Amino acid sequence: MTKKTLLVSLLLFSITYITDAACFDCSKAETVTEKLICSDMQLSDADDLLNKEYKQALHIVPDKDKLIKSQKQWIKTQRNKCTDVPCLIKVYQERISLLKASYSTPVSAEDNITGEYRTTSGLISVQLMSDNKIKFQINTVNGMNVCNIGEDGGAVATLTENNRAVFTDDEKCEISLIFDKNKLTAASKNCSGYCGLNVTFDGTYLKKSESPGF
């Protein structure tokens, strides 16, 4: 792979805010971030998906200036701070999840988000409670290592704007659970204390049951 489409559109914007990706010559990559993205297929795919989600969000969100500002800030303070592939994959997953949430359909009173959501590496159980609260458990695995959150009766998150529930703890772990019909997307910050080595629970889960399983 000699060339990679990078998010030049995050730095240059047209009057209508519609972005066009530019072709970046990977043989001239200078920063650690550029070299990692150019050399790793998973990061290359994540960069393509992020660009797609960003363009989609720009078409839909009412406050485009705010989205542009937040994307520039993300590049500067999160993406460009990474010096290895696992770090970049994590920040890309988090940003993609938040971009999807920015234009997803809000949860309404008729939506039943209670249930069990699964992916190939684990599950998230959710129970809708009163006062805009949800109880949840997260269990994921990678080999012999696991992530466990809320295993003793469930953790509690608060439903905020649109379709997003947020959980925080005393160690500044923040988990966003984003609901969209029969899907749930999890994104986390500073939550490694709940997980073993090379395990994450970030990603998209599909609803498999109406029962939360706890």
pLDDT at res. 99: 85
User: Which residue stretches of the chain have pLDDT < 50?
Assistant: 1-3, 5-23, 109-110
pLDDT at res. 11: 38
Question: What DSSP designation does 39 have?
Answer: H
Q: Are 185 and 178 in contact (CB under 8 A)?
A: yes
pLDDT at res. 16: 35
CA atoms of 180 and 99, how far apart (whole Å)? 13
CA atoms of 148 and 124, how far apart (whole Å)? 10
Q: Are 127 and 114 in contact (CB under 8 A)?
A: yes
Strands (E) across the chain are located at 3-6, 22-25, 115-119, 122-128, 133-142, 145-149, 155-159, 164-168, 174-180, 183-189, 203-209
pLDDT at res. 104: 65
pLDDT at res. 17: 37
Domain boundaries, the chain: 3-103, 115-209
pTM (global) more than 0.75: no
Write the single-letter amino acid at 27. S
Q: pLDDT tens digits for 61-103? A: 778 888 899 899 998 898 888 889 988 988 898 888 888 877 7
Token pair 């005393």 is found at 170
